[in-house]
Structures are given as structure tokens and as C-alpha cells.
Amino acid sequence: MAKKKFVVASFDEEANLFPAVEKTRKAGYKIHDVYTPFPMHGLDQVMGLRETSLHTAGFIYGILGTCTALGCMSWIFVSDWPQIYDGKPHFALPAFIPITFELTVLFAAVGMVYTFCWLCQLAPFVKKHIFHPRQTDDIFVLAVECTPQTDVAELERFFDDKGTVGVEIQEAEAGWWWGRFDKEQQIINENAVEVL
């Protein structure tokens, strides 16, 4: 990833955030991301994000768990080591239901959490740029990426009447890197994009 230039607008009222995000998007600026201290329902639609397909992933993992459980138990009890327990048939489907159910849930849950962490790049020692120290507290942060075409001064003026509590320009790493939060680290692979 590379270091990029951002215009960062912070808000303390969600009532101001929503219209600001909408107008920024309509004005054609490239929204890098919006950071909120708690989930804001409807903000994803305003930003034009598509619905997540994490559910589908969960369903697939669940089916995988069902098949694993049924397949393994059937193979073990019917073919690998057939024994008669309690006078039940080798393929005792009703007795297999509890474990099948548990493994379905287990696979779906574990798989989804891993996928979630993978998609959001979440892991111990993962570090990302924090645009505002209170973005996990009470400040809503709208980070707009400056492309070579962006007129930064105009963009700053654009936020004048949007009810912000602060607008600043930051140069920061856009992606994630391995690091610790007690140390100042930045990954720079390229020079910051020159803005004319």
C-alpha cells in the first residue's frame, strides 16, 4: 500500500454526518471511509456500499460442517469399524443428529469469524492509521481521499457548512501493516501522491 493524502472531516452529531456523507458522494469526491464509534444503521446505504455476503459464506461453512459430520460418522460406523451399539443399526441416523447439528454450528461460526477477520484485516498486531483519536469514542470521521484531480482547498471549503467540528489534511498509509499501537510506525512504500 501507499501513503495517501486525505481530507478528514470530523462530526459530533450523526444528524450532520449523514447529509455530509451524502453530499460528498454526490459531489463526486472519493470517500475513503467513514469511521464511527458504534454501528450506524443506514450509513452503508448512504455511502453506497453493497450488502455483505458474509451470510452466504456462513451458510456454505454450515453445509460443510453437516457433510463432514455425517460423512465421517457414517464412514466410521458403516465401513471402517462397524460395531453394534445398543442394538442400533450401523447407520443410526437419529443418533447422528446431535453431533451433526453441533458440527454444523461449529463450522459456520468458526468459518464466519475467520472470514470476517480476513475481510476486515483484523488480527493481533495488525495496525491501521487512526484518523482521529476519538473515532472510537464519540467522533464520527469522514475521510476523503485526495486524488491527483482533487482541489484540496476547495474540498476543505466544501465542509464549511456541513456542521463539522474539525477539518484537517492528513497524509497516511491507507492500508494495514504489522505493528504495535504503543509505537509510532508508518509504512511508506512510495512517496505521497503529489497534489497540484
Partner 1 sequence: MSLFKYESELREPLVKGSKSYHQITEDLVAPIEVKPGKLWYIGFFIALCLLLFGVISVYTEVVYGIGQWNLNKTVGWGWDITNFVWWVGIGHAGTLISAILLLFRQGWRTGVNRAAEAMTIFAVMCAGQFPIFHMGRVWDGFFVMPYPNTRGPLWPNFDSPLLWDVFAISTYFTVSVLFWYTGLLPDFATVRDRAKTKLRKLLYGIASFGWTGSTKHWQRHEALSLVLAGLATPLVLSVHTIVSFDFATSVIPGWHTTIFPPYFVAGAVFSGFAMVNSLLLIVRKMMNLQQYITIGHIEAMNKVIVLTGSIVGVAYLSELFIAWYSGNRYEAYAFFYSRADLFSPLGWSYWGMIAFNVLSPQIFWFRKMRRNLFVTFFMSIIVNIGMWFERFVIIVTSIYRDYVPSAWTVYYHPTIWEMGFYIGTFGLFFTCFFLFSKYFPVIAIAEIKSIAKTSGDNHKWAVAPVEAKEPEVFAHEYAH
Q: How far is the CB of 40 from partner 1 (least distance, A)?
A: 7
192 binds partner 1, rule: CB under 8 A: no
Q: Which amino acid is at 61?
A: Y
Q: How far is the CB of 21 from partner 1 (least distance, A)?
A: 9
| Residues in contact with partner 1, shown as a per-residue x/- string from 144 to 183 under the rule CB under 8 A | --------------------------------x---xxx-
C-alpha cell at 93: 441416523
Q: 24 CB contacts (<8 Å, ≥6 apart)?
A: 31, 142, 144, 158
Which residues between 96 and 115 bind partner 1 (CB under 8 A)? 96, 98-99, 101-103, 105-106, 108-110, 112-113
Cα–Cα distances (Å) from 169 to 53, 94, 95, 155, 187, in that order, read 34, 64, 63, 10, 18
Backbone angles phi, psi at 178, to 5 degrees: -80, 130
Q: How does DSSP classify residue 79?
A: I
For residue 170, the cross-strand partners are 6
Taking the C-alpha atoms of residue 153 and residue 46, their distance in angstroms, rounded to an integer, is 25
80 binds partner 1, rule: CB under 8 A: yes
SS3 content of the chain, % helix, strand, coil (to 5): 40, 20, 40
Q: How far is the CB of 84 from partner 1 (least distance, A)?
A: 10
C-alpha cell at 172: 497516511
- Based on CB atoms, which residue is closest to partner 1, 70 or 146? 70
39 binds partner 1, rule: CB under 8 A: yes
95 binds partner 1, rule: CB under 8 A: yes
Q: Which residues bind partner 1 (CB under 8 A)?
A: 14-15, 18, 33-40, 42-44, 47, 49, 51-52, 54-55, 58, 62, 72-73, 76-77, 80-81, 85-86, 88, 92, 95-96, 98-99, 101-103, 105-106, 108-110, 112-113, 116-117, 119-128, 130, 133-138, 176, 180-182
